[in-house]
Amino acid sequence: MTVWGLTGGIASGKTTVANLFKQYDIPIINVDVIAHDIQKNNDVIDLILNQFGGCVFNQETHEIDRKKLGNIVFNDINQLNKLNNIMQPLIKNKIKHLLLNYDQSRLVVLDIPLLFEQHYEKLVDKIIVVYVNKKTQIERLKKRNNLELKEALQRIQIQLSLEKKKQLADYVIDNNQSIEQTKIQVIKLLRSYQNKGN
């Protein structure tokens, strides 16, 4: 089995690229989905509430209010580290368990937003970074999350820069252009894998 780690910056188009891989029947393990599921666990809810207080709890749904929690952690690196200390060990264990289900697959893609920041490099064979220029990233993030410029910049700056991620990648997918251009790059990557076997 070969595992590719798919990462990028916030609003770089990583989900778009993951969906393109899905079109070619490549299994995707989405770390955001795993994190959402873990945050529904009562023990994890208790840990988060103990750390961040009742303001991040939604009384109607009896779940963590991800928007309120995000407003706290994306504005303070220390708060983000506290959340990661709770979540990341649980996420890594879940990923390792899920990978066992894909034993027979030739290729699995791990969709991991914070691959470098949380040191997932050892779980993957190759790293793909979805890259966009900063101006495009800011505009997409503002539009997608309905954020002001200052808020968008804070969320971008709390992560490792896309320029640095690009340097650390085995493969880079440039997502500045059209979806068709991005798809061409994904197809080339898959053909290269099929030809080389890695």
Q: Domain coordinates of the chain in residue numbers?
A: 1-27+107-198, 35-101
Per-residue pLDDT 10s for the chain (198 aa) are 999 999 999 999 999 999 999 999 999 999 999 999 999 999 999 999 999 999 999 999 999 999 999 989 988 889 999 999 999 999 999 999 999 988 776 899 999 999 999 999 999 999 999 999 999 999 999 999 999 999 899 889 989 999 999 999 999 999 999 999 999 999 999 999 988 765
Which residues does residue 112 pair with via DSSP β-bridges, in sequence order?
A: none
CA distances from 88 to 5, 93, 172 (A): 16, 9, 25
Cα-Cα-Cα-Cα dihedral of 132, 137, 140, 144, to 10°? Answer: 120
Beta-carbon count within 10 A of 82 CB: 17
At residue 50, the pLDDT reads 97
Q: Is 11 annotated as a binding residue?
A: yes
At residue 88, the pLDDT reads 96
At residue 194, the pLDDT reads 87
Give the global pTM.
Answer: 0.90
Rounded Cα–Cα distance for residues 162 and 12 (Å): 9
Query: What CATH superfamily is the domain 1-27+107-198?
Result: P-loop containing nucleotide triphosphate hydrolases (3.40.50.300)
Q: Is 15 annotated as a binding residue?
A: yes
Q: Is 182 annotated as a binding residue?
A: no
Q: Is 7 annotated as a binding residue?
A: no
Rounded Cα–Cα distance for residues 74 and 191 (Å): 38
At residue 197, the pLDDT reads 62
